[in-house]
Every structure is written in structure tokens, then in C-alpha cells.
Structure 1
Amino acid sequence: MSFLPLLHSADAGAARRVRPWRLPLAAGLLAALAACGGGGGDATDPPVAATTSYTAGAITGFGSVIVNGVRFDDSAATVEDDDGVRHGADDLRLGVQVEVVASSIDRVAGTGVATLIRFGSEIKGPVESVDVAAGRLTVLGQAVMVTPRTVFDDSLAGGLAGVALDALVEVHGQYDAAQAAVVATRIEAEDSTSAYRLRGELQALDTAARTFRIGEALIRYDDATRLDTALANGARVKLRLQTTPVDGAWLATRVQGGRSGLDDGDHAEAEVTGRITAWTSATAFSVDGLHVDARSATFREGPAGVVLGALVEVEGRIENGVLIASQVHLEDEDDEDEHERGEDYELHGTVTGLDTAARQFSLRGLTVRYSDGTVWRDLSEAQLADGLQVEVKGNLSADGTVLEATRVSAEDD
């Protein structure tokens, strides 16, 4: 599959409970900044009239689709990639970055009804180096970091150790500007592709030589390159590349703007989880190119930690392409509470491929393994059977390919 990467955030994100500190969105927030570095302004604009919500982050569960702790019903949603190609909901996978347009979200129940889901990847290309001990690899000239929450496609047995040099992979993730690396939320093996894909910050633009760099990758463009956005140092761009380099450079066949944010109007509610990729101040920054005006926001942990590369959760509304924040929350990547409780991921679905000897089954395309430590609710291990509707919470195995169940609960059909 080949898709856009959307938000940049550091980990796949836990299937979180809706936090009690989240407040209703305030009407009459400040007018949207025309650019991230904008200064003061009058709070005279009326509230956004739109009744839709916008959510961006990594998929942390299914049943239907769970993003940022909200369970979205996707039964009637349009699912598409960044080229506008339609897909079925079954093409969505754990760890994939998505943007969700939905109805107004019920914050108490943590639910919404999705109308549009767009998803994608950060990089599709060849593996140039692998360092299992450091949890890093290089793909298409880009540094990629692996965390305990990185999901590996089950075809990559052993996780990072199963990634071979020169193999073709697709990396879903979020860019950490402070470390100049993509933090992977999902890595998939690909058999073949007609074009490589890359998203990142354009640097070292040489208009005479018609070259620029994304990370360590040298990119060349020519008269045949489709330029859908202006080329400028610091711009976030999305590239389609030929698969054979010429004189050490990759030839771009298309260059597009690479910012997150669906260009389909304003949204009365918005919540994004991601890393700060551009920063002017704690009240004027960007998350993957999506400008944030936080002048009227409440900072739960204070504004001091809102810096370049910080992992944040921002709530507010989107108006004129700007996220006007009402809440800014710093995500604690070192807090292992939810991880230790087995709450990183949550799956709802039908049991298939039950193997009682191996103590595992399949659920939503992922292998689930249970053990003596698994807690059973409203059913026992002996009652587990193919066709049964269950909810599973758990953490990834050490290699990132299996969900180790900490809790299995029966659900109504």
C-alpha cells in the first residue's frame, strides 16, 4: 500500500481513555493565524459554523477505528489514500497514521461517526542500513527509529531483525524534528512498487542544478516533474520518485505539499496528536505543517515543554487551515503506566484461526497471543472459539508482530 503520512508523532499512541480534563470547546476563540508566527489579534470572529470534527493520529485499535482514544464508527465512512484512491476499511492497519472527519464527538462515551478516513505512509523505499541494537534503520536516505510501540507486519518475522538490507518497505510514522528522524508507528514489507514515496522537509535547494535534499536523499527534478507546490527550503513536501537513481540522485516525478490537514473546510472540533515540527513560541507552532494558534489555550503541564520535537495533543477547532487550540497537553513518552497495564492497543472483532495449542488466534488481521497471565471477562479460555465476538487489550510482543493479550472480554454479537 502507498499512502500519505499525515501527522508526525512519536509513538503509535495508546488506546487511551477520554481524559476528564478535556473541556468543551469554547465559542469565540481567537481568529486563525495566517501563519504560524503570527502575533496578537482581536477575538471578534464568530464561532465556526461547521458541525464536523477532525482527528489525526495513529490507529491504536479497531472496532471500528480507534484514534486518540476515540472509537469511530467507520461503517459508512469513505476510506481513501493521499491520491484520492478509494479503499475498504479492511485496508486500515494498526499503527497507520490517519486523518478522520467525523460527526461531533461524544467525549463522555469516547465515540464518533466517521464520514472520511484518509491514511498514508511516510516513506516507501529500499532499506539502506539496519541497526537492531540501536533500534534504527535507514530507508531511502531517512533515519527511522523503532520503539516498543512500532507495529511490524507479520511478514517481517522477528520485527526489526527480520528487515533485510535492500528490502522494500513502507514506513508509517511521524517526524521528530529535534532528532531528524522518523519515529515509526508501523513498518510493512512490500513486494514491488512502481514508484518510491517520501515525505519530509526540503533542504539545500539548488535551482541551477535542479536538486534538493530530504534527509540524506539527493532529489533531482526536471521539466517532466509535476510541481504541485512551490519549492523552498524548509517546506514540507511529499514526493513520488522513480525507483532507479541516476548519478546518485532520485528523480522526482511529482512534488506536492506535505502538510497535514484536509482541505475540505473548517471543523468545529479538532484533536491532533503529533510532534511539533516548526516552532516560533509555545503559542505559535506547527504539528506536521498544521499551524496551531495556542494564544487562548490552557496548558495542562504549563507551556515550558512546548518546544520543537515535543509530542503534544492539541484540542480546539480548525478555521482557515489553522488549529485554534483550547487545550495543549504534553504527552509523556516515558510514562509506562498504560503500557504496563496492557493498554497500548485495543481490538474488537471476530475470532478466527484459533490455535489452542499455540494459544493464539487472529483478530482484525493481527495475531493475538494469550497466556496464563491473561485476564478473562465474561468468558473463559475454554470458551474461546472461532466466530466469537471479543474485545482484546494488550501490548505488542518484543518483535512488534503479535499482540500479547492482557485482557480478553466477550462482546455481544
Structure 2
Amino acid sequence: MDPEKTESEKKTMNRRGMRTSMIAIGAAAALVLTGCGGGGGGSSSGSTTRGAITGFGSVWVNGIEFQTGSETHRKLLDTGEDHSGGVQDCTVLSVGMVVTVHHGDGDDHATEIEYEDNLQGAVQHLNTTDNTFEVLGQKVRFGGTTNIEHGPIGDGFVVEVSGLTASDNVIDATYIDVKLGESDEFEIKGYVYSVGIDNTFRLGPLPGVSTVTVDITGVTLQDIPGGVLAAGQFVEVKTRSLTTGSFPDAVIHATEVEGKKDIGHSEDHDDHDNHDNHENHS
């Protein structure tokens, strides 16, 4: 991809994004109360529970109130932050974030809460009719129970997305953070679906799901066993350019591919298929 063309396309997109009809958060904010609302789906297994945060006063996940305290570690894996001590949960975490809660068997005391987003990048192909947009070729759906912070949303705006994957392979966003200021490095996490012979592989938000093509020409793989990509590996893909094409045929031109620890993303199915129907916890 021509770097100069890419930069031009990015600037054009940002200008178009500033002119586009933006989605105000009014309706969503009316349904997502401060410290409560949104969420659903996820999983619970052994001493970990995974799902979207639905409220605070401790931390609510999947209808369970997990007790937190000074010994609880609240880890933001994308930035490497680890908050414990007297910090308040709602100053580190937000309603709608899909998290993994570590706790003892049969008890509700959280020892560790891990958060990692699905993706971060510039909004493309915003559709106000069906409330969808794309980020790095992955389609995202939002609605009245999506917690949108620092809105509004518009084409060209950089957003962080956390959510659950519906049966149509679209991510139902439970949390969207509109980033203030521009960023020129985007990232998406997912599972390798298949590896091509032309320096490409297919990536999806769940194992066995294929939603976007990643071009790794000239890219050095990091933390990949044996330096060889294989189906089922959980990876993070970074890029500095927009995708070409659209869901599910978009192409990401990667600048970095890194193997990542899977903290439970494989269980991120949206059981409701439409997060507008998720129950709120007040």
C-alpha cells in the first residue's frame, strides 16, 4: 500500500467524519445510568467469570455482585495498568466493559478483574439505519443499552470497542469509548481462522469464525510459537492505515502481529443476538 496515499485517505476520511451526521448519545445515555446498565451474555467457569459489567457498588457481572477491596487487582491489559489499594472500581472500569473476574470457587470475592478491548480504530461505513459501523473490517452493532463514553460517533472518529459476538459474527458493543484526539495506530484482536500462501490470513472474533483478511507482507511475527501462524491462535493485529473493502471482505495491511494470552474471548458469545434486549441492573 502506498504510504502517501494512505495518509491522504486518512486525512480525507477525518474531514468527512467531521462533516458527517454524528450520532449523539442522548438516547443511549438515557438508558445507561451512571454506574449501572448495559451488558449480558458471557460465561462462568471454575474460579473465573466473564461477561459485561452491568453495575457498580462492588462489580456486577452476569447478574452476580462480586465483592472488591484493596486487595483486588483491576488490570487494563491494553495499557498494562494494574490498579489496587483504595481505588474505586468505577474510576478504573466502566459499565459495558467485558471483563474476566478471578475469584475463589463458590465465593464472590474478586481477586483480579482483567479488561481487554476487542478492537480500537477509526469508524468506517457508519449506518444509522441499522446502527452499525465497521472498525478494521469488523462490523460492530450498537443500541440503547450500549454505554457510549465521550461521544458522539461519526465516520473517521477513533473508538475503542468492547462487546460480545452475535450469531451473524457482528460484535454487539456493550461499551464504546470515543477517543479524544487523533490516533494513527489501530488494533484488533481475534483468532486465526486460516493461513494463506500469499502472506495473508483470515481473522475472526471467535474460534472458527472468519470476518477479515490480514496482509502480513513484510511483517515480523511476535510471540508466535515457532514463528508460524496456525488456525486457532489468538493474536493482536496492529496497523496504521484504513482497511480496504468492507465486512466480511475487508483487508487489513498489518504493521505488527503479536500472539496474545486468551483471557476468555472464545466465550464471548452474545446469547441474546441483539443487545438491545439485555437486562439492566440498577
Alignment TM-score, normalising by the size of structure 1: 0.47
CA 1:260–1:334: 2 relative to 1, 3 Å: closer
The answer (yes or no) to whether the contact 1:228–1:256 under 8 Å persists in 2 is: yes
Distance 1:179 1:223 in 2: 30
The answer (yes or no) to whether the contact 1:238–1:255 under 8 Å persists in 2 is: yes
Match of 2:99 in 1: 98
Aligned length: 219
Q: Report the Cα offset of residue 219 of structure 1.
A: 3.1
CA 1:333–1:132: 2 relative to 1, 3 Å: closer
Residue 109 of structure 2 aligns to a residue whose secondary structure is strand
Q: Report the Cα offset of residue 84 of structure 1.
A: 7.6
Matches within 5 A, 1:316-335: none
Q: Report the Cα offset of residue 163 of structure 1.
A: 1.1
Say if 2:163 is the partner of 1:163: no
Match of 2:172 in 1: 183
Q: Report the Cα offset of residue 119 of structure 1.
A: 0.4
CA 1:148–1:225: 2 relative to 1, 3 Å: same
Distance 2:144 2:57 in 1: 23
Q: Report the Cα offset of residue 204 of structure 1.
A: 5.0
Per-residue deviation, residues 207-230 of structure 1 (Å, max 9, x unmatched): 4x3222332353315353314355
The answer (yes or no) to whether the contact 1:213–1:219 under 8 Å persists in 2 is: no
Match of 1:251 in 2: 254
Per-residue deviation, residues 281-320 of structure 1 (Å, max 9, x unmatched): xxxxxx35xxxxxxxxxxxxxxxxxxxx672xxxxxxxxx
Q: Report the Cα offset of residue 145 of structure 1.
A: 1.3
Distance 2:184 2:74 in 1: 22
Per-residue deviation, residues 128-163 of structure 1 (Å, max 9, x unmatched): 11111201111111111113321111x21xxxxx31
Q: Report the Cα offset of residue 187 of structure 1.
A: 0.8
Paired residue type of 2:240: T
The answer (yes or no) to whether the contact 1:79–1:87 under 8 Å persists in 2 is: yes
Distance 2:189 2:223 in 1: 14
CA 1:221–1:122: 2 relative to 1, 3 Å: farther
Match of 1:231 in 2: 229
Unaligned runs of 5+ in 2: 1-37, 84-88, 204-210, 245-250
- From 138, 141, 152, the counterpart of 1:142: 138
Once the two structures are aligned, what percentage of the paired residues are identical?
23
Matches within 5 A, 1:13-412: 13=40, 53-75=47-69, 76-82=71-77, 85-88=80-83, 89=89, 90-106=91-107, 112-153=108-149, 155-156=150-151, 162-176=152-166, 178-190=167-179, 191-193=181-183, 195-207=185-197, 209-214=198-203, 215-222=211-218, 224-229=220-225, 230-233=228-231, 235-244=232-241, 249-257=252-260, 259-261=262-264, 287-288=267-268, 311=271, 339=279, 344-345=280-281, 393=282
The answer (yes or no) to whether the contact 1:199–1:258 under 8 Å persists in 2 is: no
CA 1:165–1:101: 2 relative to 1, 3 Å: same
Residue 123 of structure 2 aligns to a residue whose secondary structure is strand
Q: Report the Cα offset of residue 249 of structure 1.
A: 4.1
Q: Report the Cα offset of residue 335 of structure 1.
A: 10
The answer (yes or no) to whether the contact 1:81–1:119 under 8 Å persists in 2 is: yes
CA root-mean-square deviation: 3.2
Paired residue type of 1:231: L
The answer (yes or no) to whether the contact 1:102–1:116 under 8 Å persists in 2 is: yes
Distance 1:195 1:335 in 2: 31
Structure with more helix by fraction: 2
Q: Report the Cα offset of residue 102 of structure 1.
A: 1.4
Higher relative CO (Cα under 8 Å, sequence separation at least 6) belongs to: 2
Paired residue type of 1:70: I
CA 1:334–1:196: 2 relative to 1, 3 Å: closer
Deviation larger for 54-63 or 244-253: 244-253
Q: Report the Cα offset of residue 246 of structure 1.
A: 9.7
The answer (yes or no) to whether the contact 1:195–1:240 under 8 Å persists in 2 is: no
The answer (yes or no) to whether the contact 1:225–1:255 under 8 Å persists in 2 is: yes
Residue 130 of structure 1 aligns to a residue whose secondary structure is strand
Unaligned runs of 5+ in 1: 1-10, 15-24, 26-51, 107-111, 157-161, 262-273, 278-286, 289-308, 312-330, 346-392, 394-413
Residue 95 of structure 1 aligns to a residue whose secondary structure is coil
Q: Report the Cα offset of residue 69 of structure 1.
A: 1.5
Distance 1:174 1:83 in 2: 18
CA 1:134–1:258: 2 relative to 1, 3 Å: farther
Match of 1:358 in 2: none
